[in-house]
Structure 1
Amino acid sequence: MASRFVEISVAEMASKIPGEDPSSQDRLHFYAPDLAIREEIGAEHEAEKYKTIQTVDNELELYPWLLRSIQTVFDRAGCTQYFVVEHPLHKSSDGKTIVDAGIYLSTPEARAATTLAADELALSEERRSESPYLGRHSWDYVAIPIEMKDPITWHPDRSHISISDSEEGDPALGQLPDYMSNVFNFQHRLFSWAIYVSFDHVRVLYFDRAGAFVSLPFVWTDTSSFLHDFIWKVAHMHKDQLGYDPEAVLLDPARDSDNVEVSRLREAIEHCKLPSKVQHYIKDAFPETHPLYRIRVTSSPPDPEDVLPDDRPKASSTPDAYHRNGDSRRSADPDRLSPVVAGMSHSALSASAGMSVHDASTQIEPSSTPTEPAPVQHRYFLVGRPHVAAESLVGRCTRGFIAFQVTSTAEAGTFCFLKDYWRPLVPGKTRPEHLVYERLRERLDPEDASISIATLVCGGDVAGPRAQMTSVQDALPLDARPAPRVHYHLVTAEIGIPLEEFENFTHLTEILSGAIYTHYKVWEDGDILHRDISPSNIMINAATNQGFLIDWDQSRCRSELNKDTAEPARAGTWQTRSALALRCPWKPYWFVDDAESFVHVFHLLVLRFHECIVPMGNLHDYVYEKYERSEQVNGVTIGGMRKLAEFQKRTPPFEVRGNISLQRVLDKLAELCCASYSTINVDDIIKRYGGTSSAHIPTDTTSDMPLSQRRKIFSLPSSRKVSSPEPVSAPEISATTPGLETETSGSLATPGDILRILQDYKGRDNDKAEDQFQARRSESVAPRVRHITFCSSSIDISIQGGGGSESKSLPVHFAPTLYLSTQYQQPPPPSPPSSSLSGSTTTPMPAGPLTIVASTSQSEGHAKTRKRRRSDALGVDDHD
């Protein structure tokens, strides 16, 4: 996939920035340092015609000159709403690297957050004499990050400008996407500008959730430079034009109304009656030192192309009011950025015909648009820092917040969960997630207490249908252009506990049994297939201690599944996708793929929380080989070879230590999966849907493990209907059902068989062990060594070594990986990350396509190589 960096000329970048250039009189008041002498050496190429003699030795000496240049522009413009800060301490208290400098919003809170403490002042005493701009960094308030590194190497052909692959050049661009990810995660931003400085050259960058515009480099050491023009325009911008979301208002302690809401929040936290674990989450989400925001969630009817296919009205009866935002198939104008950049108010785009998403008790806030036939609904919520946040910079970029409802409704004063993400816009294929919840609320039996999904409060596109959209995708090549993204909110009542916090394996089997039953009823009665069964999408309800399903944004209707696909499927979490869905990406996705995902969820949690004997002897290598290994076939990532091999055996792929009852469950699941796969011709499916692959089906280096002692499986006819509250076998889907000629049948197609196996487990209260992915890290033969080469169009990453991997962790409140995931964490991209075995997240990778070359486990006795591409090197959490 092509890079998400779009390199454009300085003139083109200038045309995308609102505002007028400074006058010649204004420029007389600007400052520009003389950093270098350019000596003509007569080279053939213009770019090499001059030799640059540096007059500064390192980037530290650049800081005061650059920030002085910026500040003089602010001073001339009379700008008091922004100020500049140099960060002398280049590592935060947790040891992570921070951005070199930044332009900040000038508020009392931002000033306080950037003031150096006494001990920090002592450490930076020498620098204070050289720069008056020293201060602490704050991801909460930085408006424009500034990164300064050693010189960039320019190719003679300006169309092939690249970043040097020197040791100094690599980390520079590698850190910038990390910094931008922090800006987006800590703040409520639609987009953000950034400045990248390398000696006397600068690039101005624009990031949104689709990618980044990057200007060609230009010399900034003259008062007529584009940097001075850019800062002049920034000085005259409203903060909305810097990318701040107008639907998220930073609370001001000086406003009495804000203080009233904050007081109610603090009182609700103090007197909270929710379970203790949820109370802990709430307190962490609203620390006294973190800024608070009031979020407005807009509920309005969707565009007709966004509704579920069997709910769509006929074209002749479509109300004109649905088209108030123009052609629903259009994407953002490639010649300009989002409406905020052009100075347009997003609230003007929120006008739309309205109907309630929730009940009649919702407070209605009338729209200011007089032509609107009916008002839309608005609800307001207070949020603090994210409870979870995806590490990706582009894609869905999901963030989850513990939210406090302040709208005057029956739910006012209660805590809930607010999911903020950028949904892909593919007309007729994707849809707002709350529409799925509404469908299920209408179709599922409200008296069936065993059905458990998250409870919808409200949801909708932020500021109205398709009001806030990405724009960078329109500048990407057609053959590599991703779908535009729409900013979206979903609010649900439950604050869930991660599945990984199950009490013991009896508790786990109960949770999974409930999730499997719910999944089946949603399919049978709601005609909806989830398509992303993973540990992170099965939560524990703290009030009932039972499980419930979340994240229905990738779900599809039954009518949408019975067809071949022209493009490789990208739904679901890589580690828990079915073997055939991974091996044959063009295969239609069906119910049995989700059913198999439940088995993978169970296997992963057993491997993580129970002592196991694995075929390769090394837990990390085995998990990597089975759940993360992949390869490229005709430009498409495939995997699942080990899963496929194991499911064609009647013996379990691994054995647990000292737990006969749990081993019996593994034995029976192995028999069930083998029986299902025996009903199909795997070779025919691969020929039809899998492309050509050089991949081998891996074989164990050890003999088949002996089966543990068995006991007779309680037999129920597979044609019996799943009942509640003790589900048994589901009715078989007919073999004549269209689209099932290449699907597994029998046990995996009848979830009652899986339920009986799980419900048969009788374990001990203390059968859950410590985290084995952490406890057995020392088994890894050798750490992987990552080498990164950057250029304007691609980034190559090489990983060498054994089953171990380098890992970096995000701030404590961010979502860990699959194995430590929390509510609403986004799954890894279709090409799996190589570091999820560590139990901690990896920081977002730099922009551009990744080619990763790695050897498999050295314990297998020989080195192998593989290549793969991540769906996007900016850390895409994209599945559509």
Structure 2
Amino acid sequence: MRARYVKSGNPAEFLHVLLPFHPRTNVRPPCKKNPFEGMKDADDWAEPKVVEEFVKILEAQNLCPKLVFCRSESRPHSKETDETAQRIDGGFFRRSEAPKDGRPHWELQLVPVEFKNRKDGDKYDPFADGSEGEVYLVDAVLEPQAESRRDVRQQIISYADKVYAMQHRTFVFMLLVMGRRFRLIRWDRSGAIVTNAIDYYENPEPLCDFLWRISYVKHIALGIDPTATRISPGSADYKTMADIAKDTTRDLPYHTRSLPPNYKLPEGCWFKYIREMFAESMKNRDWPCYKLEVAYNGKIYYFLVGRPCFLARGLAGRGTRGYVAYDVANDRLVWLKDTWRASYDLLEKEGDILLRLNNAKLSSDIHVPTLVCHGDVPNQATLTADWWEHKHPILSEVDASRTAPPSDPPRRSSRVTIPMKRGHPEDVEISENQSPNPNFRSDCPLRHHQHYRVVVAEVCMLLKKFTCGRQLVSVVYDCLSTHEQVAAELGLLHRDISDGNILMYPKIEKQETGLSLVWRGYLIDWEAAKPIAPHNACFVVRQPERSGPWHFLSANLINNPSKPVVIADELESLLHVLIYYAIRYLHSSITPDDEVAKFLDATYDSYVVHDGAVHCGERKGSIVADLGKLVLWQPKQSRNVAIVFNSPMDMLISRLLRSFKARYDVMNAEELGVGAAETGVQHLAERLRTHEWMRTALDAAIGDHWNLLDKVGDRVPKGWKCSKRPVPSTTPGRQ
């Protein structure tokens, strides 16, 4: 969330635009006297007393008539529901759902509320307002770096994140009370809009207005997603889900095996592991079940889901959630992805890309998900970036003598957020005379997001479930082969190759011995796919950032974020996935297990900051670009020692690393002005311009002799904490 906060200014502007209210008969009665009269000395009180007295006034003055405020500062949820054991001070709930057990109930909160004391002034205020009359607030001012203030900022971020995780929200309002001051915050997937700190004892109207509005507006105006209907236990939909979760009669075995001639999967059945994943998503009763809508080709499709099987970390960004979902219309279990895609012109939706892949005349060796349906969720887009653009008008468009931005912000109903037309989403090739799209603000550091859902037929298994080293290589081979065909036939590069996007799925295939059920590697999440860049093309950055698979991104792209992605970078990402999973799950010469964890931390979780720019970690860069060998530093011996698996994996990784080192040698030579022929490794580097050589190397390794019992389980100790630098949530500077 760093540098993702936008100053709202006064609360009146915040409420007028973000929480519009047409009272009609629900006119707020005038205050005959200051309702917060008893809070005059609140700046001198400890936090518990601030909470206690504030809550008394809420109830006595009936400031929020239709909602109930419930406290929850002393009792967290179970570790199964919330492993971080977060305890917010309280929140506003519907009267019919107000909890009585003292827990936060993130799944029910409408408006979370946090309290802090002001006995030490602004020590616990996570934000700062800057100088009086200041128009453009510098990020460093809005985000004070004092430790106590950073801690509170992180605390309220985690609270908003929990609400997002357990509910389907388009945005979240939060009330922050500090002594006798308050701030209003509106969180969405772009960032947060924050008001000035207001003394509600001196000026009670803004806070009273906010409390009255949240009480009477429809819940959609508080960010509740109307296309996600909560399923209550005992309802017909819940009974349907429960019946499916325990119905073993429709299970199919999924182990590799030979099948009878002309065998077909029975209608209305699914592989056992898929049903088990669905059942697991319903086990925790604290996590609500939902009926989700997807609008596609003029129809509405409904899907029943429980707890997400995958939940992306972090509040700002795509916020991707993955579900094993029950397809109501077709009586089957499918995979539903709920995400906030980047919303810019010319950015193709993932479902449209999948449809192209599904319809392309490619061989049976291509393994990508089969589209069921997809579509943007109507009228649900972020607006924090819009607010930033309003607060930071382009100077050439306004009178230089003005000292303030336009008085009226872009009017966006809090119930219907309409994304503005955006420019090109990423670095796209442009001609010499072509000007950037005027609707795109390249100076805006925040991204515009649109809520989006896509459903595919295959429910895949995580890569970590591979059974042996040979299968791991086979899965990587399948994904490389798929990538090769898509690049050759459709001219697309995936550009987001990571372990989370390489999965496994059982397929029926005809082989020399007849029909067999075999596991194949599937390359998923094609939303970042983009046409192959012409050689020496000129590019212009067209969005503030893009998510990147940091752990598995090529060293070249990490160190040179302005470069376009080429085939060799994609192949290197596949190599990093192969190395990571071989080290983590296979028997090797690394002992003990904590040395495995340290190696992975140093190689894939670390980075170097130089002159303000983020660069590839030393260990990763050394392995792929400097040494061209898979080695482990041994302090006692003061030297690098080769990591070996005593399997065909050794020769495979060694061959691949030699070619990637050659590629970096050639690039370094070119930067120094040394002719390519002088490097002596040009032919090795040339292998990586296409997929063929690496595909052949993987294929040869698969056909070698393997110990099929070489997988020893997860070698990273349970509860291991990375001691290195935290991995950035996005690839800094990468477009």
TM-score w.r.t. structure 1 length?
0.64
CA deviations on 1:699-753 (whole Å, 9 max, x unpaired) are xxxxxxxxxxxxxxxxxxxxxxxxxxxxxxxxxxxx9xxxxx9995214623433
Match of 2:606 in 1: 629
Matches within 5 A, 1:746-825: 746-747=687-688, 749=690, 750=692, 751-774=694-717, 804=723
Instruction: Report if the CA contact (8 A) 1:630-1:639 is conserved.
Output: yes
State the Cα RMSD in Å: 3.5
Code of the aligned partner of 1:8? S
1:643 to 1:754, Cα distance in 2 relative to 1, 3 A: farther
1:149 to 1:472, Cα distance in 2 relative to 1, 3 A: same
1:770 to 1:53, Cα distance in 2 relative to 1, 3 A: closer
- What is the aligned counterpart of 1:829 among 711, 722, 730? 730
- What is the aligned counterpart of 2:301 among 379, 383, 387? 379
Match of 1:665 in 2: 652
- What is the aligned counterpart of 2:176 among 184, 192, 196? 196
1:393, CA displacement in angstroms? 0.7
1:70 to 1:762, Cα distance in 2 relative to 1, 3 A: farther
- C-alpha distance in 1 between matches for 2:614 and 2:20: 41
1:34, CA displacement in angstroms? 2.1
- C-alpha distance in 1 between matches for 2:374 and 2:719: 42
1:646, CA displacement in angstroms? 3.0
Instruction: Report if the CA contact (8 A) 2:111-2:174 is conserved.
Output: yes
- C-alpha distance in 2 between matches for 1:483 and 1:240: 23
1:242 to 1:671, Cα distance in 2 relative to 1, 3 A: same
Matches within 5 A, 1:283-302: 283-287=279-283, 289=285, 290-299=287-296
- C-alpha distance in 1 between matches for 2:708 and 2:36: 70
1:598, CA displacement in angstroms? 0.8
1:277 is paired with a residue whose SS is helix
- What is the aligned counterpart of 1:439 among 349, 352, 356? 356
Code of the aligned partner of 2:107? D
- What is the aligned counterpart of 2:51 among 53, 59, 63? 63
1:165 to 1:577, Cα distance in 2 relative to 1, 3 A: closer
CA deviations on 1:514-565 (whole Å, 9 max, x unpaired) are 1111111111122221111111101111564222111001111236787233
Code of the aligned partner of 2:4? R
Matches within 5 A, 1:441-480: 441-445=358-362, 448-463=363-378, 467-476=379-388, 477=392, 479-480=443-444
Instruction: Report if the CA contact (8 A) 1:530-1:555 is conserved.
Output: yes
2:87 is the alignment partner of 1:98: yes
Q: Where do 5+ consecutive residues of structure 1 fail to align?
A: 38-51, 117-134, 300-355, 357-375, 689-734, 736-740, 778-782, 784-802, 808-816, 818-826, 832-870, 872-878
Code of the aligned partner of 1:554? A
1:637 to 1:275, Cα distance in 2 relative to 1, 3 A: same
Match of 2:276 in 1: 280
CA deviations on 1:457-495 (whole Å, 9 max, x unpaired) are 1111112xxx32111112335624333111111101111
- C-alpha distance in 2 between matches for 1:233 and 1:569: 36
Match of 1:572 in 2: 548
Match of 1:546 in 2: 520
- C-alpha distance in 1 between matches for 2:271 and 2:326: 16
2:110 is paired with a residue whose SS is strand
1:250 to 1:659, Cα distance in 2 relative to 1, 3 A: same
- What is the aligned counterpart of 2:686 among 725, 736, 745? 745
CA deviations on 1:290-313 (whole Å, 9 max, x unpaired) are 4222211012xxxxxxxxxxxxxx
Instruction: Report if the CA contact (8 A) 2:659-2:685 is conserved.
Output: no
CA deviations on 1:300-335 (whole Å, 9 max, x unpaired) are xxxxxxxxxxxxxxxxxxxxxxxxxxxxxxxxxxxx
Match of 2:438 in 1: none
Matches within 5 A, 1:592-671: 592-612=568-588, 618-632=595-609, 636-639=613-616, 642-648=619-625, 649=627, 651-653=629-631, 655-657=642-644, 659-671=646-658
- C-alpha distance in 2 between matches for 1:742 and 1:828: 37
Matches within 5 A, 1:352-501: 356=297, 376-407=298-329, 412-428=330-346, 430-445=347-362, 448-463=363-378, 467-476=379-388, 477=392, 479-501=443-465
1:295 to 1:224, Cα distance in 2 relative to 1, 3 A: same
1:545 is paired with a residue whose SS is strand
CA deviations on 1:617-648 (whole Å, 9 max, x unpaired) are 95455434432333446654332654444335
1:399, CA displacement in angstroms? 0.9
More off after superposition, 625-634 vs 393-402: 625-634
Q: How many residues matched? A: 610
Code of the aligned partner of 1:139? W
1:586 is paired with a residue whose SS is coil
1:33, CA displacement in angstroms? 4.9
Instruction: Report if the CA contact (8 A) 1:612-1:656 is conserved.
Output: yes
1:587, CA displacement in angstroms? 1.6
2:325 is paired with a residue whose SS is strand
1:53 to 1:662, Cα distance in 2 relative to 1, 3 A: closer
Instruction: Report if the CA contact (8 A) 1:29-1:72 is conserved.
Output: no
Instruction: Report if the CA contact (8 A) 1:614-1:622 is conserved.
Output: no
1:253, CA displacement in angstroms? 6.0
Instruction: Report if the CA contact (8 A) 2:39-2:54 is conserved.
Output: no
CA deviations on 1:835-864 (whole Å, 9 max, x unpaired) are xxxxxxxxxxxxxxxxxxxxxxxxxxxxxx
- C-alpha distance in 1 between matches for 2:64 and 2:628: 75
2:697 is paired with a residue whose SS is helix
1:155 to 1:264, Cα distance in 2 relative to 1, 3 A: closer
Code of the aligned partner of 2:31? R
- C-alpha distance in 2 between matches for 1:97 and 1:262: 28
- C-alpha distance in 2 between matches for 1:668 and 1:742: 14
1:150 to 1:743, Cα distance in 2 relative to 1, 3 A: farther
Percentage of pairs with the same residue: 22
TM-score w.r.t. structure 2 length?
0.75
Match of 2:69 in 1: 84
Code of the aligned partner of 2:225? D
1:775, CA displacement in angstroms? 7.0
- What is the aligned counterpart of 1:219 among 199, 212, 215? 199
Code of the aligned partner of 1:452? H
CA deviations on 1:217-262 (whole Å, 9 max, x unpaired) are 11223683311110011111100000111111223568xxxx3333
1:440 to 1:687, Cα distance in 2 relative to 1, 3 A: farther
Match of 1:32 in 2: 36
2:380 is paired with a residue whose SS is coil
1:761 to 1:102, Cα distance in 2 relative to 1, 3 A: farther
1:582, CA displacement in angstroms? 1.6
Code of the aligned partner of 1:244? I
